[in-house]
Amino acid sequence: MFGKQRTASRKAIVIIVGLIVWAAGCGGGGSNSFSSSPAPPPTTSNTAPGTNVSVQPTDSTGASPAKLVFSNVTQAGMTTLTIANTGVMPPIGFLVGSPAQYFDLATTAVFSGPVSVCINYSGVSFVNSPRLFHYNGSAWVDVTTSVDTTNHSVCGSVTSFSPFATFQSGTASEITSATSTAFSVNTAGTFTVTATGFPMPLLSASGRVPSGVNFDASTGVLSGTPATSGTFSLTFTAHNGIGPDAAQNFTLNVAAATQTPLSITGPSSLVYGMTGSATVSGGSGTGAVTFSAGTSTGCSVSDRTISVTNASGTCTVAATKAGDESYAPATSAPFSVMLTKATPTISWANPAAITFGDVLSATQLNAIPSVPGTFVYSPAAGTVLNAGANQSLSVTFTPTDTSNYTTQTASVTISADKADSVVTVDCTAGAPFTYSGLALTPCTAVVTGAGNLHQSLTINYTNNVNAGTATATASFAGDANHSGSSNSVNFTIAKASSTVNVDCTTGAPFTYTGSPLTPCTANATGVGNLNESLTVNYTGNVNAGRATATANFGGDANHNGRTASSSFVIGKTTPTITWTNPAAITYGTALSATQLNATASVSGTFVYSPAPGTLLTASANQTLSVTFTPTDTSNYATQTASIPITVNKADSIVIVDCTAGAPFTYTGSALTPCTATATGVGNLNQSLTVNYTGNVNAGTATATANFGGDANHNGRTASSSFVIGKATPTITWTNPAASTYGTALSATQLNATASVSGTFVYSPAPGTLLTASANQTLSVTFTPTDTSNYATQTASVTITVNKADSTVTVDCTSGAPFTYAGSALTPCTATAIGVGNLNQSLTVNYTGNLNAGTASATANYAGDSNHNSSTGAGSFVIGKATATITWTSPAAITYGTALSGTQLNATASVPGNFAYIPAAGTVLNAGNQTLSVTFTPSDTTNYTTQNVPVTLSIGKADSTVTVDCTASAPFTYTGSPVTACTANATGAGNLNQSLTVNYTNNVNAGTATATANFGGDANHNGSTASSSFVIGKA
């Protein structure tokens, strides 16, 4: 048995959690970005009026980790941030971050609606996802709306200000290791108990373990060398204060020691009907040895004798040595004995020779066995053997009793003589045959004979090229199974046809010369390299037209005769035309024989294009062409020719007319009333574009038109003039909207416009402050910039001036942040301001400005002759005061000393209650341990709960080892070591651990010594003890 011990599991995780604030991705509108470096704290106001107002206050160190977005700010004010490392304890089930930080946010701005608060916790460790909490004066409230673990941001929504903090939820303890393990007697074993949870769980154990095994709660390791076998039940418990403790029922199974391996010696094989003997070596203890054949069907074992009952497969024998109080039963590895079958005898004589084609039968296949069974011959009965001497016949004999006899084989030899063969030659395929100039091989030949002989043969030919009678011969030389044979057949080769080719392409094309033309050649071709030149005969080969050429081949010994013809064309001759370039003419001159005067080398007629009398357009190098048709059109071709001619341009006339629409008045735009036309020979009548000068301002304008000429006419220019009279401008100015007292006259009211450019002079002038009054007159005089074309004009309107508003500002930022002091706080000032230098101090009225919480400040301005009345309000937060806790680190103690008022002796500057962790009476493990106290003031409205840690050093306690050798005394010599002693280590904190005992002189009679050592553990120092006992003579 061992006492219940509690410490931290080596597998648990210790994390102290805190908070650094940052904003990213929070709701409430506006940007959630933060400045990359801290800005200096504002001195007047950092929270402006408006909707979705974003504020990032800075604390006294310049850090700006929090961002606020106000839904609606009605009056500007100062928003401040204070960061502290201590504050009100988190709610049950939650813990602070590492390092711990608290945030006090306050504002003097007047606002309504929710406020989004985003806190960035970069650089702070959290085990679980953080949540944003808001302290309402009596409890923490989870106000989280979003958590962005990527950017380390947590956001929430509130409607009032007070301390904020980011906490994380704890995780209940859970034991995650297996519920059992196995050790063996006399063999060191180890098992580690693992647990999870946040904060780190403490492990403890209860139950019974065998002698030599111990559980170390500080490491979670169960280890040792068990002295006895059996099943031991334990209970492991994990505790971290989050939810119920985790408990696990655990089983330690300790197995007995293993014997020395058993080994069997015996025969490696046995023949059917024989017996053999087996022996065994090895093993430990006093248990009896038995033999077994297990599931083997071919043998049996009686005592140590192996008998073969069925000679098939392997006989597997195993030896088993029974266990005793020290050793578990042991079984040897299987020992195999091969079971061997008997071999039968076969009698079979060589049979007489046969002829190829004879089938095998019982005459040859006639073997006789020594025992009953069946034969399978190879080749099988009915097989035809190839011709040859000493061929092998074989047989496989399968005995009827296959369990005890093996299958056997035997063989004999036999001779087979050759059979006759027949050759057949066939030349009918493809007949009749015609001379091709090549050797013809149309025949096939096969040889047939007994045993399905059917073999194609090679054929030898004579006279198989030229026309006539050819011969085909085939021979079979014989093969392994047949004698040789041969045969011949004749076939006829008829003459081939021939081809005559007449070619008239050389020298083409051909032209009429007046003499016969003979350009053609001819030859006869055919198979067998026939290629013979032939004489060509002509018809129609003098005049232009189609001529015919004919050739004849009379045939030869291998070819039939053939005649062929071809034709060729004799083209007409082209006459020569002479025509020189004519002199240039002027546009309007018609073509005549002066220009159209071509001549030809033969008689004929001319047709010109363009025809005589045509008027050509003006252009250089225009083409004149002619077509000549000869009188002898049978032998001469029609011919064409062309020459260039130049046609020069004619003169033109331009007229400009400006009478339409007169008289004309100045409009500010260019006037373009004129038209222009160009005329000339060849029906020229073209409208022209008019260009103007002086056609905008009043005065005389000029209009000019230019005809640049065209393809047939030269260009010309003409001008005309017209008068433009002056115009009158228009002024537009509507009555302006009423203004407020203090608003100076500006372009908003003095906004007259004119139809043309110019200058305005107003009365009263811009910048004038009008007194409050209805229907005051404003006037203007307009002088146009272009006085040459426009007259000076005047105009007036009326305007009303109303009273101005006033604004009351309440400022509560001076001296912030504020802390509960026991008396009313009056830090605010108020001022009424307005146009016309209004700046009046006001009296401030307060509510809720004594105790911690949010206080209100209001001020009222009654108004005057020029300003309306107004009211302003502000608020400020009175934070809770922090009590002073005094607690010095206590003096070191020794493990086993329970915590008491000597260590748990913190004091506070105000009345309240202390709650210590661990509680008084707790016995802590050795090492540097953290003690913490939570102080809850009696006045929780105005003072915060505080948490303070100190460190306590706990030294290890001494241990005592006791060795007891009295059980079973007196002792007598047995020839074996006497190990009768037990040992255990005891100490503070329920230490009671069984130890291994080491002996000297414990075999022979005399005084023996037993020694045990405790190496110490996490809470105890090590120690050693010895004892002696007497072994009497036997």
Over the stretch 525-542, which tens digit does the pLDDT of each residue have?
988 888 988 999 999 888
Q: Are residues 139 and 57 in the same domain?
A: yes
Based on the fold, state whether residues 607 and 716 are members of the same structural domain. Answer: no
**Statement to judge: residues 359 and 470 lie in one domain:** no
Residue 6 lies in a domain: no
Tokens found for residue 958? 């001494």
d(CA 717, CA 703): 11
pLDDT at position 326: 58
Domain span at 184: 175-255
Considering the domain architecture, whether residues 490 and 508 belong to the same structural domain is answered as no
Residues 188 and 247 in one domain: yes
Q: What is the pLDDT of residue 690?
A: 92
Rounded to an integer, what distance in angstroms lies between the CA atom of residue 14 and that of residue 8? 9
Supply the pLDDT for residue 829.
94
644-665 pLDDT tens trace: 999 888 888 989 999 888 888 8
Rounded CA-CA distance 890/904 in Å is 8
User: Given pLDDT bands bounded at 50, 70 and 90, which one contains residue 744?
Assistant: confident
Q: What is residue 482's DSSP assignment?
A: B
In this structure, which amino acid lies at residue 557?
A: A
Q: What residues are paired with 996 via a beta bridge?
A: none
pLDDT confidence of residue 788: 84
Share of the chain above pLDDT 70, in %: 95
Give me the pLDDT at residue 35, please: 33
**Burial of residue 31, with CB atoms counted within 10 A of its CB: 0-12 exposed, 13-18 middle, 19 or more buried:** exposed
Per-residue model confidence (pLDDT) at position 44: 61
**Are 90 and 148 within one domain?**
yes
Query: Does one domain contain both 57 and 162?
Result: yes
In this predicted structure, what is the pLDDT of residue 185? 82
Q: What is the CATH number of the domain that holds 287?
A: 2.60.40
Which residues face 391 on adjacent strands? 414
Q: Per residue in 131-183, pLDDT tens?
A: 999 998 889 999 999 999 999 999 999 998 878 999 888 888 899 999 999 99
pLDDT in tens, 282-301: 888 778 888 888 888 888 88
| pLDDT above 50: residue 12 | no
CATH number at residue 907: 2.60.40.10
- Residue 20 pLDDT > 50, yes or no? no
Q: Where on the phi/psi map is residue 32: left (φ > 0), alpha (ψ -120 to 50), or beta?
A: alpha
Query: Which whole number is the average pLDDT over 97-120?
Result: 90
Residue at which a domain ends, from 571, 598, 628: 571
Judge whether 847 lies within some domain.
no
Q: What total of structural domains would you count in the chain?
A: 11
| Residue 22: inside a domain | no
Task: Give yes or no: residues 608 and 640 share one domain.
Answer: yes
Closest C-alpha among 629, 587, 589, 588 to residue 608 = 629
Residue at which a domain ends, from 306, 340, 374: 340
Q: What is the pLDDT of residue 325?
A: 57
| 300: three-class secondary structure by DSSP | strand
Contacts 24+ apart (CB under 8 A), 376-385: 383/359, 384/356, 384/357, 384/358, 384/359, 384/360, 384/451, 385/354, 385/356, 385/360, 385/414, 385/416
The residues, any chain, with a CB within 8 Å of residue 4's CB and separated by 6 or more, are 204, 205, 206, 237, 990
Convert 488-527 to b/e letters by CB count within 10 Å (16 or more is b): bbebebebbebebebebeeeeebebeeeebebbbbbbebb
Give the mean model confidence (pLDDT) for residues 722-745.
88
Task: Give the percent of the chain with pLDDT over 90.
Answer: 44
Question: pLDDT per residue over 478-490, tens digit each?
Answer: 888 888 889 999 9
Q: Which residues have a Cβ under 8 Å from the Cβ of 278 and sit 6 or more positions away?
A: 264, 265, 266, 291, 301, 304, 305, 306, 317, 319, 335
**Are both 67 and 119 inside the same structural domain?**
yes
Other CB atoms within 10 A of residue 332 CB: 20
Q: Give the integer Cα–Cα distance in Å for 822 and 881.
A: 10
Cα-to-chain-centroid distance, residue 513: 89
- The tens digit of pLDDT for each residue in 114-140 reads 999 999 888 888 888 899 999 988 899
Q: What is the pTM of this model?
A: 0.32
Task: List CB contacts of 20: < 8 A, sequence separation 6 or more.
Answer: 65, 97, 101, 120, 121, 122, 123, 124
Say if residue 539 is in the same domain as residue 437. no
- Could you tell me if 447 and 405 lie in one domain? no
13-17, 22-26, 79-83: which has the minimum mean pLDDT? 13-17
Which residue shows structure tokens 């919480």? 853
Dist CA 763 CA 212 (whole Å)? 116
- 38 is a domain residue: no
* Whether 132 contacts 94, CB under 8 Å: no
pLDDT value for 903: 92
In a domain, 383, yes or no: yes
The pLDDT-based confidence of 324 (bands split at 50, 70, 90) is: low
Q: What is the mean pLDDT of the chain?
A: 87
**Residue 43 counted as domain residue:** no
Is 17 a member of any domain?
A: no
Nearest to 610 by CA among 598, 621, 626, 597: 626
Is 631 part of any domain? Answer: yes
Residue 39 pLDDT greater than 80, yes or no: no
The band of 11, judged by pLDDT with boundaries at 50, 70 and 90, is very low
Q: What are the tens digits of pLDDT across the range 377-400?
A: 999 998 988 889 999 999 999 998
Average pLDDT score over residue span 1008-1015: 94
Domain end, chosen from 597, 619, 648, is at 648
250 and 268 in a common domain: no
Tell me, what DSSP letter sits at residue 437? S
Residue 40 has a pLDDT of 41
